[in-house]
Structure 1
Amino acid sequence: MMKIYKIPQNLKAIIFDIDSTLYTNDAYAFEQVDCQVRQFAKLRGITASQARKMVADYRQKFAEEHGGSKISLGNTLLAFGVPIEQSVEWRRKLLEPSDFLSVDKKLIDEMKILNQHFKLIAVTNNPVFPARKTLQAIGISDFFPKIVGLDTCFKSKPAVEPFMEALKILCEKAEDCLAVGDRYDIDIAVPLELGMGGIVLNGVEEVYQLSQNVL
């Protein structure tokens, strides 16, 4: 279920995560990770299965050592010596959201409502190019004139820089903004620390109900 941590009293802008927030598609969610893991395997000269295990083991160990907190794939690969710039290049080249996603009319209707009342911006751990293609595939690109992507700050959420860049673009104070995403540790924890509101959603079905909770 949707978990509301805080909704700003004077809400002016909503900062959306994209993947597994504005759409729900397990196959595409898996491929976004696995296409990079396969590239990492080629780089290391190991099998895809071995690379998957390395990534899974590292993420599990990270969670155990950080009170259950999750780590992004970009930061996981960075720990294995893969620069963020390389992650960006792989994602730009390999991700084809239209192979998995289609126009979501219910989401479009919800975005129309939200767009009448608030500024909207997307902050994602994917580069801007595939992120824009994702928004186009689901039919809501026009509602997001700006995207803060992995290649904007070359920092992967939960780094503070992408959120600070979003505030700069929005020209709004943190306390007047709401962060919406599917992962507390990655999408919501830092915005709350900055003074924003925060909502964790379990997929796009709960996005359809967002205006009922913020208006």
Structure 2
Amino acid sequence: MLRKFKAVFLDVDGTLYRSREYEEHLLQSAVAVIAEMLGLARPEAFKRLMEVKEKVKTVSRSVEVLGLERGRFYDRLADVADVKKYIHPSAAVVGLLRNLRRKGVVIGLHTNSGRKLAGKVLECLGVDRQCYDFIVTSDDAEPKPDPSGYMLLLEKAGVNASDALYVGDRCDVELAPAKKLGMYTAAVYTDKCDYADYFLKSLSEIENFT
């Protein structure tokens, strides 16, 4: 019998939706913002971002290493990125989240993006405030893999780590920190992760744990 969880925490980008085109667009938009804020040509901005990201793993960390204020970067990125062109409503995601909440499961969303950009993504997906209890962004806590965001998820949900399932698509950046704090973890869209307790072929399988 599968374990039942009181809370489910979900990564947003790469988990609630999959879009290679948007990922590429977002990267190019990030490069444009970095170039603008540092006064660089885009090729140089891209080179610097990739060099730093190779070491620190995430764009959120990279922009700080490059000397930019994370909040200002994400606010500007939210203005530049054409989210509506790539992210579209998902009845499946909306239905899943609402079903989980009807069962009494606490739903928390977790993203390294700022609140403004995350809001645009969720709006395009059709995910409104009836679909989740709260969201933790890089405006609220240090970005993944820092544990502060995960601890805030648990605090807001009011549950013990062992009663929470964290769902994400990135092993080292997302699932490893959750696992180290005592949460159960589920990897989605991948079958390789040493920190995953479960492997999901689709998000709909989450209902089996509630």
TM-based fold match above 0.5: yes
Q: Does 1:98 align with 2:84?
A: yes
Indicate the residue corresponding to 2:134 in structure 1.
146
Q: Is the 8 A contact 2:144 2:174 kept in 1?
A: yes
Task: Tell me the alpha carbon deviations over residues 99-127 of structure 1, each in whole angstroms, 9 at most, x when there is no partner.
Answer: 32111122223223322331111011111
CA distance in 2, matches of 1:145, 1:96: 26
Q: Is the 8 A contact 2:164 2:184 kept in 1?
A: yes
CA RMSD of aligned residues (A): 2.2
Indicate the residue corresponding to 1:107 in structure 2.
93
Give the structure with the larger helix fraction: 1
More displaced stretch, 199-208 vs 72-81: 199-208
**What 5-or-longer segments of structure 1 have no aligned partner?**
1-7, 63-69
Among 146, 155, 171, which residue is 1:168 paired with? Answer: 155
Indicate the residue corresponding to 1:27 in structure 2.
21
**What 5-or-longer segments of structure 2 have no aligned partner?**
191-199
Partner SS for 1:151? coil
Structure 1 length as normaliser, TM-score?
Answer: 0.82
Q: Does 1 or 2 have the higher relative contact order (CA < 8 Å, sep 6+)?
A: 1
Aligned residues: 198
> What's the offset of the Cα at 1:92?
3.5
Structure 2 length as normaliser, TM-score?
Answer: 0.84
Partner SS for 1:120? strand
Indicate the residue corresponding to 1:211 in structure 2.
207
CA distance in 2, matches of 1:108, 1:44: 39
One-letter amino acid matched to 2:154:
L
Indicate the residue corresponding to 1:86 in structure 2.
72
Q: Is the 8 A contact 1:182 1:200 kept in 2?
A: yes
CA distance in 2, matches of 1:133, 1:42: 22
Which aligned segments of 4 or more residues in structure 1 are displaced greater than 4 angstroms? none
